[in-house]
Amino acid sequence: MTVKTLSARKNGTARAEAGTEPIPLRYGDDPYVWACWLYYEDHMTQGDIAEIMGISRATVNSYLADARARGIVNISLEPSRLSSLSIAQELKRHFGLHDCLVVPSDDNTRPLIDRLGGAAAQALAKLLKSGDTLAVAWGRTVLAIAEQASVPGLQDVTVVQATGGTAANFAYTPELCASAMAGAISARLVNITAPAVVSTAEIRDMLLRETLIESQFDALAKANKALFGISSLRPNSTIHTSGFFESVSLQQYLARNAVGVVAGRFIDGQGHPVAGPLDDRTIGISLDMLRAIGLRIAVAGGFDKVPAILAALRGGYVNVLITDAATGRGILNADGVTELDQKLSQRPKIDHRATLPSNFRTHIKKFLNDPNDVVEEMLDGVVKAHAAYLRPIKGSHRALVARTGPRPGKVGLVIGGGTGHEPCFLGYVGKGLADAVAVGNIFSSPPPGTILQCANAASGGQGVLFVYGNYAGDVMNFDMAAEMAAEHNIEVRTVVTTDDIASSPLEDREGRRGVAGNFFMFKVAGAACDRGLSLDACEAATRKANARTFTMGVALEPCSLPQTRRHNFEIGPDDIEIGMGIHGERGVIRDKMMTADEITDRVMDRIFSEMQAAPGDRVAVLVNSFGATPLMELYILFRRVEQRLSAKDIKIEANWVGHYCTSLDMVGASISVLHLDNELMELLHHPCDTAVLRIG
Amino acid sequence: MSDNAARRLSRMFYRISIAIEAGKDHLSDLDGAIGDADHGITMSLGFMAVNAELAKLNLDETLPSEVFAVAASAFLDAVGASTGPLYATAFRRAAQALKKDECLSLADQAAIVEAMTTGIKERGKGQRGDKTMLDAWVPATEAAVNARARAAGGAEMWNSILAAAEAGANSTRSMVAARGRAARLGERSLGHMDPGAASAVIILRAMKDTFDEGEREKAVPR
């Protein structure tokens, strides 16, 4: 082979120097076969092949890609690995897991526990991050992981023993498992210095009140990741052989249909806790505590464990599962998902390359971890960053309530909508503004349940006002929530905002969508509520603000969703979209690029045609970025807005320029004008204190 | 493992989820043309959540109507958006329709399609010709009702349901949207298939595949 490569290269070089040469006959007339042979059989680089074939490196690259597309080259994966992979995908889909890793079927070279340990050790390197607190349970598998794990470079990681300890004479005690893991990942170690099972409930309660043990449980409560095995209750399982639990008690759990043990707690086939004599005498993480942990990594394999693992999955104790192929298949079989054609799960291949030039960017760069986690991770950040203003309702980051807002005798204001509009809507929660916000997925309304939680939290007995933008999804979800709130004896009134004058003609004012002008409607509604006005009066003031707010947006470039990291559509190099909304949907008209002043004039002409302001009237102005347009350009727009207003002798009572209602990374801006009267002016100046807006 | 009606429905949702996942990018691209490009993501998220909730059920002791009820709340809580209430209401209506006899006879299968369509209509206050998912669901229901009227077999019924849904979805290309975000595009929505109608076809095809398979095995008890 080496000789062949050398001679081929030599010949090729010579030919290339001599200019374009015909393809040697032995490859037929097919440059694809030639390129593929050199690449896959002779293991040459694409650069060398380019030289030999006398073509550019880019052409070699496209030959190789096309050869795969045309089936000239087939790349096959080792089948047992592939099946592991598809089992992992099935498990992930079927149980809605965050991730799933399946090691290939047993090759009889290593014990299963070692192989699972090795796989989990590798997975940990990916899953653990600096600053984590990892709760570690005990067992043979957990110890096998700790023995093989090595995650260098982590900072400020804490390992907390998830259960009390034991005097038992085996190698995989809770203490040892936790300390081995702490050693492997250079983490600070917190042991639980109490027995896992004590003789009476009184002793347990006394121990839990000890300051030292209390502080250890505080550390455990901070865990954001958990690592544990799953034990079956079969006679040869760890649970039996370890002597960890008394055998008398075990029988009682078995009699109550327990099928497995997770972190020292018994569960039945559906994953429900099984009550028994040890419950009050156990010191360690509870099932509820476990379920509240963000990343719950279970490592377990072996056919006898299938019912126990299935139960743990059904109970929601696991969201990352590491198992082996046989066990994984067994779990799926046991849950009745055998019959499905494997081909069904394979996505049809779509070849994008064919239509795209080689320098085409397929992805927009974004700061992401997992694109599916963007909303949750953002909300994590929001809740910490703005803890002074808002807090989660019942632990849910999707429903946030103002720390100082809801109070008896005041109408509650609930706002909300999809994410991707930050600082809308959660930035407007606080004293004098909204009392609660319901948060949906990107550009998607929150579900009724979330909105109802907000209504309950915001209610001070005087009714609740819903204010949100006019979109079919939001209207349906908020309406459903309003019906549910009525059943809870909360009177709800709704103002649907419709400030986007480009989205529908004047005759269809009610069909217009709500965009950045929400800012004014929220402000007015919040002030009316804060002043203790009646529900009727709050609703009326907000409706007036909506009727007198006029917004129009212009986009220069579309936005891209974190999941796709592609533009939803393209706006041509010399085009702009006029009448742009805030969801990345297209604008109403496409036009040629113009100067900033021309664009502002287009918008202001349209606003003036609807606003009917007389000289001397007062307005509030919002120049809002859609996300990627910088302040510099916003000020240029504002400058022209001010010129147009003052030319008509209309006074700007107040103005805001910046990011107030965005559309991810869209390049563009909107201009909103609120035509004030005395009442609206007072409400606009009413003090408020929120994360992004403070007045007074 | 005994096959029962609940298990078949759970398999149906599983199939839907796989099919939606496979068509996710396509649906999002369709949505990108006239909406906000997230339809594929939203639908995939919703059916994933349905699967995860159904996996927690003991299907041997679950009634078919309960499967639909669980699917309804799982879908709604995961999705919100406009598809959330629409399909949640559809599943809830299907659950109510199944409560009569809790089996999956041909009449029940037709009733599921009809009830889902009723739910979507009610919640969205829409109708045929609005360029929405109803342009697939309404003809599908008509086909189901017709097939029942002429006492057609399962395979024939589902073939006609799917054919009607596909034709309906295709017809949305020549419609101007009257509802949803696409409505604000006016005539710019012309020429594009409605993503909601496209995903309705995917759902109906997965339903057809599930019930066809049951048809072949025949005589499935509850």
CA pair distance B138, B121, nearest whole angstrom = 9
Q: Output the 3-class SS for chain B.
A: CCCCHHHHHHHHHHHHHHHHHHCHHHHHHHHHHHCCCCHHHHHHHHHHHHHHHHHCCCHHHCCHHHHHHHHHHHHHHHHCCCHHHHHHHHHHHHHHHHCCCCCCCHHHHHHHHHHHHHHHHHHHCCCCCCCCCHHHHHHHHHHHHHHHHCCCCHHHHHHHHHHHHHHHHHHHHHCCCCCCHHHHHHHHHCCCCCHHHHHHHHHHHHHHHHHHHHHHHCCCCC
Domain annotation covers residue A102: no
Count how many Cα atoms sit within 13 Å of the Cα of residue B221 in the half-sphere of its side chain.
3
One domain, residues A39 and A117: no
Give the residue from A134, A138, A175 showing the smallest Cα distance to A154.
A134
User: Span A599-622, mean pLDDT?
Assistant: 95
Domain annotation covers residue A123: yes
Query: Which of B7, B15, B25 is nearest residue A350 as measured by Cβ atoms?
Result: B25
Helix (H) or strand (E) holding A496: strand A492-497
Count how many Cα atoms sit within 13 Å of the Cα of residue A532 in the half-sphere of its side chain.
3
CA pair distance A597, A624, nearest whole angstrom = 16
End-to-end CA distance of chain A: 81
B24, closest residue in chain A (CA to CA) = A347
CA pair distance A473, A548, nearest whole angstrom = 24
Domain annotation covers residue A541: no
Cβ contact (<8 Å) for B81 and A440?
Answer: yes
One domain, residues A127 and A61: no
One domain, residues A573 and A527: no
**Chain A residues lying within 8 Å of B184, measured CB to CB:** 503-504, 513, 581, 585, 588
Please report the pLDDT score of residue A79 as a whole number.
54
Count how many Cα atoms sit within 13 Å of the Cα of residue A584 in the half-sphere of its side chain.
35
Domain annotation covers residue B70: yes
Cβ contact (<8 Å) for B37 and A450?
Answer: no
Angle CA A149–A150–A155, to nearest 5: 125
Which pLDDT band, with edges at 50, 70 and 90, does A265 fall under? very high
Query: Is A106 a residue whose pLDDT tops 70?
Result: no
CA pair distance B175, A621, nearest whole angstrom = 38
Domain annotation covers residue A538: no
Please report the pLDDT score of residue A34 as a whole number.
82
> Taken in order A193, A196, A202, A208, is the CA torsion positive or negative?
positive
Domain end residue (candidates: A533, A561, A592): A533
Domain extent at residue A658: 550-684
Give the residue from A253, A251, A289 showing the smallest Cα distance to A274.
A253
Please report the pLDDT score of residue A255 as a whole number.
82
> Structural domain tally of chain B?
1
Give the active site residue among A386, A397, A583, A675: A583
Cβ contact (<8 Å) for B183 and A511?
Answer: yes
Query: pLDDT digit string (tens) for A396-422?
Result: 899 999 998 799 999 999 999 999 999
Which pLDDT band, with edges at 50, 70 and 90, does A146 fall under? very high
User: Span B63-81, mean pLDDT?
Assistant: 93
CA pair distance B157, B215, nearest whole angstrom = 11
Query: Is A16 a residue whose pLDDT tops 60?
Result: no
For A567, which DSSP code? B
Domain extent at residue B139: 5-217
User: Span A636-659, mean pLDDT?
Assistant: 97
CA pair distance B203, B23, nearest whole angstrom = 11
User: Span B175-199, mean pLDDT?
Assistant: 76
Domain annotation covers residue A633: yes
One domain, residues A203 and A330: yes
Which of B60, B86, B92, B184 to mutate: most A Cβ within 10 Å? B184
Domain annotation covers residue A347: no
One domain, residues A325 and A404: no
CA pair distance A151, A135, nearest whole angstrom = 16
Our CA-based measurement puts residue A32 at a distance from the nearest CA of chain B, in whole angstroms, of 30
One domain, residues A50 and A178: no
Please report the pLDDT score of residue B37 as a whole number.
72
Please report the pLDDT score of residue A363 as a whole number.
82
The mean predicted confidence, pLDDT, of chain B is 88
Least confident among A92-101, A526-535, B93-102, B110-119? A92-101
Query: Is A116 a residue whose pLDDT tops 70?
Result: yes
Cβ contact (<8 Å) for A450 and B80?
Answer: yes
B86, closest residue in chain A (CA to CA) = A476
Least confident among A47-61, A172-186, A258-272, A336-350? A336-350
Give the residue from A301, A308, A307, A309 showing the smallest Cα distance to A327.
A301
User: Span B103-132, mean pLDDT?
Assistant: 92
For A613, which DSSP code? P
Percent over 90 (pLDDT), chain A: 57
Which of A89, A90, A92, A93 to mutate: most B Cβ within 10 Å? A93
What's the CATH number where A175 sits?
3.40.50.1360
One domain, residues A474 and A399: yes
Domain annotation covers residue B154: yes
Which pLDDT band, with edges at 50, 70 and 90, does B16 fall under? very high
One domain, residues A185 and A327: yes
The answer for residues whose C-beta is within 8 angstroms of residue A88's C-beta and 6 or more apart is A100, A101, A102, A328
Q: Is B10 exposed, middle or buried (0-12, 13-18, 19+ CB in 10 A)?
A: buried
Give the active site residue among A421, A659, A675, A686: A421
One domain, residues A525 and A588: no
Query: Is A24 a residue whose pLDDT tops 60?
Result: no
Cβ contact (<8 Å) for A473 and B81?
Answer: yes
Helix (H) or strand (E) holding A323: strand A320-324
- Cα A504 versus chain centre, distance: 33
Cβ contact (<8 Å) for B36 and A513?
Answer: no
One domain, residues A428 and A461: yes
Please report the pLDDT score of residue A35 as a whole number.
86
> Structural domain tally of chain A?
4
Please report the pLDDT score of residue A362 as a whole number.
65
Query: Which of B33, B37, B56 is nearest residue A314 as measured by Cβ atoms?
Result: B56
Percent over 70 (pLDDT), chain A: 89
Whether residue A583 lies in the annotated active site = yes
Cβ contact (<8 Å) for A447 and B84?
Answer: yes
Domain annotation covers residue A265: no
Which of A89, A296, A443, A498 to mutate: most B Cβ within 10 Å? A443
Our CA-based measurement puts residue B164 at a distance from the nearest CA of chain A, in whole angstroms, of 24
CB A520 within 8 A of CB A674: yes
Our CA-based measurement puts residue A97 at a distance from the nearest CA of chain B, in whole angstroms, of 8
User: Span A99-124, mean pLDDT?
Assistant: 84
One domain, residues A234 and A178: yes
Least confident among A216-230, A353-367, A565-579, B114-128? A353-367
Domain annotation covers residue B222: no
Domain annotation covers residue A91: no
Domain annotation covers residue B77: yes
User: Span A356-376, mean pLDDT?
Assistant: 78
User: Span A220-244, mean pLDDT?
Assistant: 84
Least confident among A285-299, A331-345, A651-665, B92-106? A331-345
Our CA-based measurement puts residue A486 at a distance from the nearest CA of chain B, in whole angstroms, of 18
For A28, which DSSP code? T
What's the CATH number where A676 sits?
3.30.1180.20
What's the CATH number where B172 sits?
1.25.40.340
One domain, residues A512 and A460: yes
The four Cα atoms B21, B23, B25, B26 give a dihedral, to 10 degrees, of: -170
> Taken in order A24, A29, A35, A38, is the CA torsion positive or negative?
negative
| Residue whose entry in the numeric block shows the structure tokens 């807006």 | A693
